[in-house]
């Protein structure tokens, strides 16, 4: 089974090679003549004020955190779903307890407004 991964490494190497070729190729064929205005970030023609290295909204952090937790949930559900037909009712009850805990978490988030994008 290990050798099935060899083609994955090969396609990884080939696509990486093509990516490098594209960047290098366009670097060779295009001539970059920077001017101070050209090297500015694009802001619809208005001279940019400040840069973007600033703190940003905490809601992105909440989304990433919740994504991490629910991703773990999804992985656990994958393991359950492949053996569900062998485990039958027992497996169903086992996962129901697990799901109940997460549903409580989801309801909590919802009620506290963590899912609102304000």
Partner 1 sequence: MMVEIVFYVFAATAILSALMCITQRNPIASAFWLISTMLALAGIFVLLEAHFIAAVQVLVYAGAIMVLFLFVIMLLNLSGRVSDIRGRLSWVVATVIAVALTASLIGLRAYTPERLAQEVTGSLQITPDVAFQSGDLARAAAESRGVIGVFAEPLFGTYLVPFEITGLLLLTAIVGAVVLAKRRL
Partner 2 sequence: MNPELKGFLLLSVAKMLVVFVAVLIWVALLTLMERKVSAWIQNRLGPNRVGPGGLLQPAADGLKNLVKEETLPKVANPILFLLAPAMSFVPALLMSAIIPFAAPLPLDFDFSLPLLGRFVHAGSTPMVVADLPVGFLFVLAISSMGVYGIAIAGWSSNSKYSLLGGLRASAQMVSYEVALGLSVIPILLLAGNVSFSSVIADQQGGLWYVLPLFLAFFLFVVSGLAETNRLPFDMPEAESELIAGFHTEYSSMKFAMFFIAEYANVITVSAMTVTLFLGGWDIPFTAWDQQGGLLQTLATGSFFVVKVMFFVFLFMWIRWTLPRFRYDQLMSLGWKFLIEVATVYFVVIAIAIHLIGRVWGVTDPRAMGWWLFALNLVLCYIVFVLLDRGLVIEGSSPQRRPVPPSVTSEAMES
Residues that bind partner 2 (CB under 8 A): 1, 3-8, 10-12, 14-16, 18-20, 22-23, 25-27, 29-34, 36, 38-44, 48, 51-53, 56, 60, 63-64, 66-67, 70-71, 74-75, 77-78, 81-85, 88-89, 92, 96, 99, 103, 106, 110, 115-118
Residues 77, 82: Cα–Cα separation, whole Å: 9
Work out the widest C-alpha separation in the chain, in whole angstroms: 70
State the Cα–Cα distance between residues 55 and 51, nearest whole angstrom: 11
Of all residues in the chain, what percent are helix, strand and coil, respectively (each to 5)?
70, 0, 30
Q: How far is the CB of 28 from partner 1 (least distance, A)?
A: 27
**Out of 1, 23, 37, 46, the residue judged to bind partner 1 by CB under 8 A:** 1
Contact criterion met (CB below 8 Å) for 91 and 80: yes
**Which residue number, 39 or 57, has a Cβ lying nearer to partner 1?**
57
Cβ 58 to partner 1, closest distance in Å?
Answer: 5
């Amino acid at each position: 089974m290990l050798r099935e991964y060899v083609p994955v490494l090969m396609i990884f190497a080939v696509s990486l090679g093509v990516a490098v070729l594209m960047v290098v190729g366009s670097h060779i064929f295009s001539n970059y003549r920077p001017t101070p205005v050209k090297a500015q970030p694009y802001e619809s023609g208005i001279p940019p004020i400040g840069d973007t290295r600033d703190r940003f909204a905490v809601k992105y952090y909440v989304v990433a955190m919740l994504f991490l937790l629910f991703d773990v949930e999804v992985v656990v559900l994958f393991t359950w779903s492949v053996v569900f037909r062998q485990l039958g009712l027992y497996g169903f009850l086992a996962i129901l307890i697990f799901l109940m805990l997460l549903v409580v978490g989801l309801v909590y988030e919802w009620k506290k407004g963590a899912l609102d994008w304000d």
